[in-house]
Amino acid sequence: MTGVAVLGVGMHPWGKWGRSFAEYGAHAAREALRDAGLEWSDIGYLAAGITVRNGYPGYVAASTFAQSLGWNGANIASCYAACASGAAALDVARARILAGLCDVALVVGADTTPKGFLAPNTGERTDDPDWLRFRLLGATNPAYFGLYARRRIARYGATERDFARVKVKNSRHGLNNPNARYRKEVTEDEVVASPIVADPLHLLDICATSDGGAAIVLSSLEFARGHGAPSPVRVTAVSTVTPTYPKTVVDLPDFATDSAAAAAPPETAYRASIAAAAYEEAGLGPDDLDVAEVYDLSTALELDWYEDIGLCKEGEAERLLNDGDTTIGGRIPVNPSGGLACFGEAVPAQAIAQVCELTWQLRGTAQGRQVPGATTGLAVNQGLFGHGSAVVATT
Amino acid sequence: MSSMIEGWFAAEPEPHLIGGRCTSCGSYAFPPTAPSCPNPSCSGTELEPVSLSRRGRLWSWTVARYAPPPPYVAADPFVPFALAAVELPEERMVVLGQIHPAADLTGLAVGDEMEVVSGTLPGDDATPIWNWRPA
């Protein structure tokens, strides 16, 4: 057996609760510790995803959580990698365990977010591309999602109804998830009748921003055995790869892609390379998956992910969706948690929440949304500034 | 305000984007602010400013129906605007820009030919910026 053990997982439900991110993080951490059957005093290492929306305490998130739980002398690291921040923290903790520097570690991410569009930092930040894309172009995150969605329509004949059916599926998946923010069935008609934000995407095609917190207790396999968990869910791969030049898709917060004038584009485009690296490390491929959690920032993006993680060939994602393959009960259920469609995004917590869901699925305890017999799962995301992550979990 | 994108765009003699081109390998970059060649297999450190192709093919486009948050300076009341991603043939890169507000979007389709025209920075009519328009 390889990898590290997931001894415990826990979350603070997603929503708009109006409390501090430290509170959500500490709550999730206590839940994960309780799930693991451990005390905070047993933890020698804490890695956390940074939030950039909560001032200095957010930049030193690991320290903030450690203080919230009560200083216990643990070593800490705070990581920022946009949407992949939680996975970056997970990877640091995993490496620490695999290096033999600690037996057990806690990984935490939590956020509070304002209503509406995510916005750049304030000030006259004329050398910051994230500030400039708003100032010069008004290019919000959904604007980029709209560009990708229309591209899908033009290339593959996707329709707004296809996109809407992603939301319908995810809304059903998340109905019984106690940590999901939106637990209401949504119809195709409701999606296409909702206001257009960045056409062809409607309001209900685009994920909201949420408060939330998620935590994982990781340990060495040896520690897990000694702790009465001889066959835990294991993390067998974590990928946090950056793009390979030239990147040919215009990603947030870019004004332009790289130029392929003097260098041929890589065989595997960036989003696909994120999962490919995790498959390679885990020694498996898309055919081995029973369940996947993908980053559905928009409904159309979920369809892109089907192809990028190898569930089908390019242009076949709509068929996969419409055949019911990615619905619970289908060949390879995607986003049984309900995905971002039911959660909304709490940036530094989201990649951790994805692994929490995989853990419940692989334990067979995802009540009301269980993928029958799941033993191997993949979680993927992509964020701005060349960040992304993929995690493989297996029993 | 004008210094913000100085060296990115020129309205004369014809409106054109200005990119950086590596003097060693010929890779382009936009905006022309990269400190050295972005191509990892090139050790070039000098990017020369060059005019980019004035025309390209529409990679995709969208219309923003809600006002972006600051620092975008939105008209009040807000007027929806379109964004285009245009693929430049020679540079083999895709560049974003707003579509000129006077452009007719009827029938606009991915793959259409687009050209760079002069527009103004949102909220600052005195500062020229690049816009895309169906050619």
Are the C-beta atoms of residues A170 and A322 closer than 8 Å to each other? no
Give the nearest chain A residue to B100 (CA atoms).
A137
User: Higher model confidence: residue A257 or residue A127?
Assistant: A257
- Whether residues A215 and A179 fall in one domain: no
- pLDDT mean across residues, chain B: 95
Per-residue pLDDT at A1:
76
A136 with B5: Cβ contact below 8 A: yes
Q: Count of domains in chain A? A: 2
Nearest CA in chain B to A129: B31
- Whether residues A215 and A72 share a domain: the answer is yes
CB contact under 8 A, A259 and B91: yes
The Cα–Cα gap between A91 and A38 comes to: 21
A137, B96: Cβ pair inside 8 Å? Answer: yes
pLDDT score of B1: 45
Residue type, A27: H
pLDDT of residue A268 exceeding 60: yes
Look at residue B127 in the predicted model and tell me its pLDDT: 92
pLDDT at B74: 94
Q: Please report, rounded to a whole number, the percentage of residues in chain B having pLDDT higher than 70.
A: 98
Phi, psi of A185 (to 5 degrees): -70, 135
Contact A137 B61 (CB under 8 A): no
**CATH number of the domain within which A48 lies:** 3.40.47.10
Residue B132 CA to residue B135 CA, distance in Å, equals: 9
Please enumerate in sequence order all residues whose Cβ is within 8 A of that of B6, keeping only pairs 6 or more positions apart, or say none.
none
For chain B, give me the number of helices (H) and strands (E)? Answer: 0, 9
- Per-residue confidence (pLDDT) for residue A114, from 0 to 100: 82
d(CA A199, CA A197): 6
Query: CA-CA distance, A279 to A299, in Å (whole number)?
Result: 24
Whether the pLDDT of residue B2 is over 60: the answer is no
Vertex A12: Cα angle to A8 and A16 (nearest 5): 160
Size of interface A-B (CB pairs under 8 A): 149
- Asked if pLDDT for residue A230 goes beyond 90, the answer is yes
Chain B interface test: which of A130, A135, A152 (most B C-beta within 10 Å)? A135
Spell out which residues of chain A touch residue B114, defining contact as CB-CB under 8 Å. Answer: none
Going by C-alpha positions, the residue among A185, A239, A224, A178 that lies closest to residue A12 is A178
The share of chain A scoring above pLDDT 70, in percent, equals 100
Are A169 and A256 part of one and the same domain?
Answer: yes
Question: Are the C-beta atoms of B56 and B50 separated by less than 8 Å?
Answer: no
pLDDT in tens, B64-117: 999 999 999 999 999 999 999 999 999 999 999 999 999 999 999 999 999 999
The shortest C-alpha distance from B73 to chain A (Å) reads 7
What is the arithmetic mean of pLDDT over A136-164?
98
C-beta separation of A31 from A214 below 8 A: no
Residue A124 falls inside a structural domain: no
Mean pLDDT of A130-158: 97
- Co-location of A61 and A168 in the same domain: no
Which residues, 6+ apart, have CB-to-CB distance to A101 below 8 Å? A45
Claim to verify: residue A151 and residue A226 sit in the same structural domain = no
User: Is B47 within 8 Å of A287 (Cβ atoms)?
Assistant: no
Q: How far apart are CA A43 and CA A217, in angstroms?
A: 9
> Inter-chain contact B70–A119, Cβ cutoff 8 Å?
yes
Number of domains chain B contains: 1
Q: Quick one: three-class SS letters along chain A?
A: CCCEEEEEEEEEEEECCCCCHHHHHHHHHHHHHHHHCCCHHHCCEEEEECCCCCHHHHHCHHHHHHHHHCCCCCEEEEECECECHHHHHHHHHHHHHHCCCCCEEEEEEEECCCCCCCCCCCCCCCCCHHHHHHHHHCCCHHHHHHHHHHHHHHHHCCCHHHHHHHHHHHHHHHHHCCCCCCCCCCCHHHHHHCCEEECCEEHHHECCECEEEEEEEEECHHHHHHCCCCCCEEEEEEECCCCCCCCCCCCCCCCECCCCCCCCCCCCCHHHHHHHHHHHHHCCCHHHCCEEECCCCEHHHHHHHHHHCCCCCCCCHHHHHHCCCCCCCCCCCECCCCHHHHHCECHHHHHHHHHHHHHHHHHCCCCCCCCCCCCEEEEEEEECCCEEEEEEEEC
Q: What is the pLDDT of residues A85-120, one digit of tens each?
A: 999 999 999 999 999 999 999 999 999 988 888 888
A224 plus A371 within the same structural domain? no
Give the model confidence (pLDDT) of A243-261 as tens digits: 999 999 999 999 999 999 9
Percent of chain A whose predicted confidence (pLDDT) is above 90: 96
Task: Let me know whether A292 and A226 are in one domain.
Answer: no
pLDDT bin (cut points 50, 70, 90) of residue A121 is confident
Q: Which domain holds residue B62?
A: 2-134
Q: d(Cα A120, Cα A134) in Å, to the nearest integer?
A: 8
Mean pLDDT, residues B38-45 taken together: 96
More confident residue, A113 or A210: A210
Per-residue pLDDT tens digits for A297-321: 999 999 999 999 999 999 999 999 9
The predicted structure's pLDDT at residue B4: 85
> Does residue A358 belong to any structural domain of this protein?
yes
Q: Which candidate from B31, B61, B121 shows the least CB-CB separation from A147?
A: B61
* A122 assigned to some structural domain: no
Domain assignment present for A314: yes
Considering CB atoms only, which of B4, B110, B129 is closest to A151? B110
In the block, residue with structure tokens 């070593």: A75
Of B65, B69, B109, the CB nearest to A196: B65
Q: Which residue of B has its CA nearest to A248?
A: B93
Average pLDDT over residues A278-291: 98
Are A223 and A243 in the same domain? Answer: no
pLDDT tens figures, A79-88: 999 999 999 9
Residues A142 and A76 in one domain: no
CA angle A80, A84, A86 (to 5 degrees): 70
> Which residue range forms the structural domain that includes residue A105?
4-116+211-233
Is A199 contained in some domain?
Answer: yes
Residue with tokens 């030239």: A246
CA of A269: how far to CAs of A209, A273, A320, B48, in Å?
Answer: 27, 6, 21, 28
Average pLDDT, chain A: 97
